[in-house]
Amino acid sequence: MKIRKVCVLGAGTLGSRVALQSALSGYEVTIYDIHPKALEDSKKVMPKIIQQLSKASGLDADAGIAAIESIIFTDNPNVAVSNADIINESVLEDVKVKNQVWELFGKIAPDKTIFTTNTSFLLPSMFAKISGRPDKFCSLHFHDVFYAKGVDIMPHPGTDPSLIPILEDFGRSLEQVPILIKKENHGYLFNAMLGAILSTAGKLFANGIGSFESIDKSYMVNFRVDMGPFGIMDTIGLDTVWHVTMNNKEEGAKDFAAILKRMLDEGKAGVKTGEGFYTYPNPKYKNHDFLE
């Protein structure tokens, strides 16, 4: 099967990046969201990404803008999925929401369409049946897309094995490194490891063991990296982190989930809202004296 048209469900941070990279890679792209404001925000953020890529990697800015202009942004599900060869879903990390999305698109997508979910911590088997096409359902999970170029391919027991090489080729065409997961696992490989770190950081903070700045400093100075656990959470989005933490049954997770909920109620969701644990676009951890 030759993939030509890509439909991205969800115009948030990751969905926007997947859609943009797909357009830059020469695919026809539609991006769908139930919220018109999310689509408008996506349109606004894409030129900023092109600007960053132009400076960092020499991407031709005019070609980048042309790619954006080729994308169809829509809140009409039938327009979004028309003639789509593949769907990649990046909606909220909520089983109920994802089930609603897949029940709808399972009914209206063309017979040829491959269904993939970009879920960070849930499993494809949770949604495969309700989509009506369990054999065509698989996780295809991107990370940053432009700076962290791994794409996780995780089938569920009912996934048609012939989809795997198609998804591997598709991932490579988007300049990603395909990583095949042999068995369903919450968090794939990398996110499972990262989740343990973020969970521990959250519990240390919630229990008053250290401030979020101190926890980040400890992580950054020892691993010699530019961002700590709380900077990472801001980047992921505190809404996503809250959904994962809320479902974590480990001791101490409930207290950290409560902190995240209070922050979200105050409109602090991380980078995408301009404030989370840090304030953006110039978070404190980027200051030259943060680790002094």
DSSP assignment of 34-82 equals: S-HHHHHHHHHHHHHHHHHHHHHH---HHHHHHHHHHPEEES-HHHHHT
* Confidence check: pLDDT of 164 > 90: yes
Q: What is the pLDDT of residues 127-151, one digit of tens each?
A: 999 999 999 999 999 999 998 999 9
Q: For 227-284, how does the pLDDT look when each residue is reduced to its tens digit (9 = 90+)?
A: 999 999 999 899 989 988 998 888 889 999 999 999 999 999 999 899 999 999 999 9
Contacts of 47 (CB under 8 A, 6+ apart): 64, 65, 68
Q: What is the reported pLDDT for 185? A: 96
For residue 84, what pLDDT band results from cuts at 50, 70 and 90? Answer: very high
**In the structure, what pLDDT confidence band is assigned to residue 3 with cuts at 50, 70 and 90?**
very high
Q: What is the pLDDT of residue 149?
A: 94
Quickly state the pLDDT bin for 107 (edges 50, 70, 90).
very high
* pLDDT tens figures, 26-76: 999 999 999 999 999 999 999 999 999 999 889 999 999 999 999 999 999
Residue that wins the pLDDT comparison between 102 and 94: 102
Q: Are 4 and 27 in contact (CB under 8 A)?
A: yes
Say what the alpha-carbon torsion angle 276, 229, 204, 264 is, to the nearest 10 degrees: 20
Residues facing residue 30 across a β-bridge? 7, 72
How confident is the model at residue 250, as a pLDDT? 82
Instruction: Determine the pLDDT at residue 248.
Output: 84
Q: How far apart are CA 168 and CA 157, in angstroms?
A: 18
Asked whether the predicted pLDDT for residue 1 surpasses 90, the reply is no
pLDDT at position 252 is 81
Residue 61 to residue 77: CA distance in whole angstroms: 30
Query: What is the pLDDT, as a whole number, of residue 156?
Result: 98
Tell me the pLDDT band of 93, cut-offs 50, 70 and 90. confident
> Which residues fall within 8 angstroms of residue 115, CB to CB, at 6 or more apart?
87, 89, 102, 105, 106, 109, 128, 131, 133, 136, 137, 138
Residues 216, 218, 220, 223: is their CA dihedral positive or negative? negative
Mean pLDDT of the chain: 96
